[in-house]
Structure 1
Amino acid sequence: MRSVCVLLMLVCVVRALDKLNMCMDAKHHKTEPGPEGALYSQCSPWRSNACCRANTSEEAHADNSYLYNFTWSHCGAISAPCRSHFIQDGCFYECSPHLGPWIQQVNQTWRKERILNVPLCQEDCESWYADCRHDFTCKQDWHSGWDWSSGTNRCPKGSKCRTFEEVFGSAKTMCEAIWSNSYSYTALKKDSGRCMQLWFEGPDNPNLEVARYYLSHAHPQAVAVATTMLLPLLLSLLHAGIPL
């Protein structure tokens, strides 16, 4: 009985810790993260451990790509600086293996899971808004409410194209509203280690430590038990030949 209880507790802990390295159940995501040496351009920082494949990373750079038939240029051409942020946003969504603490189940035709309230670093959100504030859109929430009759997203009837500054009014509103609260605006800086970065360089993904921090605060007892009791106890049971 004791060993069964230990095993059940360990399963719960392992499931929690698995959230540090996992992929969403979504349209173009891999089942499990892993190396992808050929990731394209702005998606390349994830090449050592990614939830996206090379073809997905390339399509993430194309407006109105086959991934979702979605165009950023629904109110005319989008500026290059603004476009680069949406490319990076797409790479982050498709490639990130460390979004587990914020993954939620959904019932949509194109995905079974989504991210909710991922804490974005202030610099990333503010620079995104600054580079897009003079570009045009007709909607705050880009997840729903489009006219799809042409096969791609068009502004709904009665809507008006206005600048991002007019539609959103602030970086906070833009980052939180544009993808239905997928992101949460924070006052945290990148060097805090407590916010997720859309932009990073180098072989080490700084978002792993951020996910570990939020996971440990969401499941502090499970993490503590795993490190101080359960794993050593399970190993001792296995060493003694006690069946589980």
Structure 2
Amino acid sequence: MARPQLLFLLAWVAAVGEARHRSAWARKELLNVCMDAKHHKQEPGPEEKLHGQCSPWKNNACCSINTSHEAHRNISYLYNFNWDHCGKMEPACKQHFIQDTCLYECSPNLGPWIQKVDQSWRRERILNVPLCKEDCERWWEDCRSSFTCKSNWHKGWNWTSGYNTCPVKEACHPFPFYFPTPAHLCNEIWTHSYKVSNYSRGSGRWIQMWFDPAHGNPNEEVAKFYAAAMSGAGLPGAWPPLLCLALTVHWLLSRAPFTF
């Protein structure tokens, strides 16, 4: 074997090894992290006294105890957002928005979907988090009899009173008027923060808004799966030829001298 060929093969071995090192680093960076946002902690950790619907994250949370309490209030100091902007929101509907707030504020498992943004109140956001289809359908069903005046709740409100009220030209209607399907609700309401998953329950491929902490946090494994996919950690098919190459180089080195 000529020297250039050998050097090429050795360089390829090194490159693949470096790629795996970088992908492992990237995968680590996407796991067990908090967003750089208004009320998030810098790092996740235990918060034994998280309040109410935020309590499933108490073993490892990006939210503080105070944030968990405020997540349950209407027009809280978190964002001065009024859930009752079109009259009293049904309690069953409001529970989903509280749970949505808890997931956003408390979860350390959203790393694969965190994106940089340039906004006054946060430097990072989530985008296209694969939300459990069943969670989305329940959310939509429980909100069908509640009213709203907008399909995108991130922008376009009247804030002159200090909290959100409906724009003058936007009338209040039942949720299905602005969100005709569950997918419209979950995908559109927070500017594509969520994307309803097509995977079925039990697949481990979507983030659960609701879960029983007695059985652990299922979103940890989901984040690991997507982090590995996004970082290319698997490098499918790379290791068999890499091993064959290494053995070939070793055999050639042991069989004959090289002219350098």
Asked if 1:65 corresponds to 2:76, the answer is yes
3-state SS of the aligned residue for 1:205?
coil
Q: CA deviation at 1:157?
A: 1.4
Q: CA deviation at 1:16?
A: 2.9
Give how far 1:216 is off. 1.3
Q: Partner amino acid for 2:40?
A: H
Deviations 1:40-59 (A, max 9, x none): 01000000000000000010
* TM score, norm. by length of structure 2: 0.81
Q: 2:219: which partner in 1?
A: 207
1:156 to 151, 157, 167: 167
SS at match of 1:104: strand
Q: TM-score, normalised by structure 1?
A: 0.86
- For 1:16, the aligned partner's letter is R
Residues 103-156 of structure 1: CA deviation (Å, up to 9, x unaligned): 000000110000000001111000000000110000000000000000000001
For residues 71-150 of structure 1, what are the structure 2 equivalents within 5 Å?
Answer: 71-150=82-161
Alpha-carbon distance in 1 for matches of 2:46, 2:127: 25
Q: Distance in 1 between matches of 2:26 and 2:45?
A: 18
Whether the aligned pair in 1 keeps the contact of 2:117 and 2:123 (CA below 8 Å) is yes
Unaligned runs of 5+ in 2: 1-10, 243-260
| Distance in 2 (alpha carbons) for counterparts of 1:94 and 1:116 | 14
Identity %: 52
Q: Deviation at 1:9?
A: 7.0
The answer on 1:15 being equivalent to 2:15 is no
Give the 4+ runs in structure 1 shifted more than 6 A. 5-9
In the TM superposition, residue 13 of structure 1 has moved relative to its aligned partner by 3.0
**Contact 1:190–1:197, Cα closer than 8 Å, also in 2:** no
Instruction: Specify the SS of the correspondent of 1:192.
Output: coil
Query: Which residue of 1 is the match for residue 181 of structure 2?
Result: 170
Alignment: residue pair count: 224
Q: Which residue of 1 aligns with 2:230?
A: 218
Q: 1:191 aligns with which of 194, 202, 210?
A: 202
Instruction: Determine the structure 2 residue equivalent to 1:26.
Output: 37
Structure 1: runs of 5 or more not aligned: 230-244
Deviation of the 1:99 alpha carbon: 0.3
